[in-house]
A and B are shown apart, each in its own frame.
Chain A
């Protein structure tokens, strides 16, 4: 058997990838983590995390992933910047199942096992004008862009934890935040619902969707439609923040591993995908609750399963 460059290659450097890297490195497996940008993932755009155990006062997303990165590096995890284009999974006829290839833009790396922790990115609204206004009033990141809206009016969209938490953050700057939500109740967890309903700067537009984004070069107003009554309304606003869900980052898979109907990767409880030696962890995986706390749990299991898979190749 040809010796691969690494025992394990991890794709993605958010909390799941960093945790898989920590476990694999401590198991003394030669491990490389590939990250498109810099370690952190979606946690980097999260203002404040108060449901990750061990930080009773809460912690900023940036600080938490800094600590996770430092902890993984302590055990000699290699971290490289690299954008994965495609994978060779050893399932092709005549190929060695224990030798998988990871194709990057400028080189190809081989490994015995792969852990996919490539995460997800925000789902766009699909409203006309959306692309034109990105960076010109349209944002997916309150911690990045919220301070530009001091004493201005902004519209936020969504009803889950992210939408509610980040809308609350926006009230530190904006004089008024409209929260547009397509249903008549929020999905966000209880304490966040209590906070948003009690915040005088926030007005929730129930049963509504954004039907248009308008402005000359920057956003000037947002068209909103009530899905039950069909009533239209235009809100003069400088910013639009969108948190209606996430899409998995799985394009490099080219359909080789089994996905669910929303393109999240299907695994069993050992985090095994449909391809032997390929594991998935974190937000990219098909599951019911996407949190940092569930991502790191997935990742520990994935690294443990990968270790067993590599041992099985030797016997």
Chain B
């Protein structure tokens, strides 16, 4: 996994995501999800391009039940952009790189 993507959990979600001074792209994933695995390298690539302006994070929904439930995540991969502690954009399912890039650009 790329160094530029931080792994967050239910315990540090508040600190790393809600209190982040930069916009955050959070990727909800799980090891059993094929499309999540496929989307991983695409997000890695975007992290290399936008990592200086946006924090990239991922959360394993198997190990961390509280946050997905709080944000009503019922499908993965789900990507959420957090800005000033609030969800500003979100998208679910397999999506092309350009769509993820659009989410990021809207948050900048």
Of B33, B36, B73, B74, which contacts A239 at CB under 8 A?
B74
Q: Report whether B93 and A37 are in contact in the complex, using a CB–CB cutoff of 8 Å.
A: no
Q: Which residues of A contact B51 (CB under 8 A)?
A: none
- How distant is the Cα of A45 from the Cα of B62 in the complex, in angstroms? 18
Indicate if B30 sits at the interface (CB-CB under 8 A). yes
Q: Which residues of A contact B96 (CB under 8 A)?
A: 36-37, 83
**Which of A144-152, A182-190, A204-212, A272-280 makes up part of the contact surface?**
A144-152
List which A63-85 residues lie within 8 A (CB) of chain B.
Answer: 81, 83
Contact with B along A34-45 (1 / 0, CB 8 A): 001111100111
- Contacts across chains A and B counted by CB atoms under 8 Å: 86
Of B35, B42, B74, which contacts A44 at CB under 8 A?
B35
Q: Which residues of B contact A105 (CB under 8 A)?
A: 98
**Which of B2-10, B18-26, B52-60, B75-83 makes up part of the contact surface?**
B75-83
Contact with B along A127-170 (1 / 0, CB 8 A): 00000001111011101110110000000000000000000000
Indicate if B86 sits at the interface (CB-CB under 8 A). no
Closest A residue to B74 using CB positions: A148
List which A214-268 residues lie within 8 A (CB) of chain B.
Answer: 217-218, 238-239
- How distant is the Cα of A62 from the Cα of B29 in the complex, in angstroms? 15
Q: Which residues of B contact A136 (CB under 8 A)?
A: 72, 74-75
Closest A residue to B76 using CB positions: A144
Closest B residue to A83 using CB positions: B96
Q: Report whether B32 and A147 are in contact in the complex, using a CB–CB cutoff of 8 Å.
A: yes
Indicate if B66 sits at the interface (CB-CB under 8 A). no
Of B42, B62, B77, B97, which contacts A144 at CB under 8 A?
B77
Indicate if A61 sits at the interface (CB-CB under 8 A). yes
Q: Report whether A145 and B94 are in contact in the complex, using a CB–CB cutoff of 8 Å.
A: no
Q: Report whether B33 and A143 are in contact in the complex, using a CB–CB cutoff of 8 Å.
A: yes
Interface size range on B against A: 20 to 34
Q: Report whether A37 and B95 are in contact in the complex, using a CB–CB cutoff of 8 Å.
A: yes
Using known A-B contacts A83-B96, A144-B33, A144-B77, determine if residue A38 contacts B72 with beta carbons closer than 8 Å.
Answer: no
- Nearest Cβ in chain B — how far from A275, in angstroms? 25
Closest B residue to A63 using CB positions: B34
Indicate if B38 sits at the interface (CB-CB under 8 A). yes
Q: Report whether A62 and B34 are in contact in the complex, using a CB–CB cutoff of 8 Å.
A: yes
The interface centre, meaning the residue of A38, A40, A43, A81 with most chain B CB atoms within 10 A of its CB, is A38
The interface centre, meaning the residue of A37, A40, A140 with most chain B CB atoms within 10 A of its CB, is A37
Q: Report whether A37 and B38 are in contact in the complex, using a CB–CB cutoff of 8 Å.
A: yes
Using known A-B contacts A136-B74, A218-B74, determine if residue A38 contacts B98 with beta carbons closer than 8 Å.
Answer: no
Q: Report whether B92 and A37 are in contact in the complex, using a CB–CB cutoff of 8 Å.
A: no
Q: Report whether A135 and B34 are in contact in the complex, using a CB–CB cutoff of 8 Å.
A: no
Of B45, B90, B93, which contacts A141 at CB under 8 A?
B93
- How distant is the Cα of A46 from the Cα of B32 in the complex, in angstroms? 11
Q: Which residues of B contact A83 (CB under 8 A)?
A: 96-98
Q: Which residues of A contact B98 (CB under 8 A)?
A: 83, 105
- How distant is the Cα of A45 from the Cα of B41 in the complex, in angstroms? 17
A-B contact pairs, 15 of them (CB 8 A): A37-B96, A38-B39, A38-B40, A38-B42, A40-B34, A44-B34, A81-B42, A134-B92, A135-B75, A136-B75, A139-B74, A143-B32, A144-B33, A145-B76, A218-B74
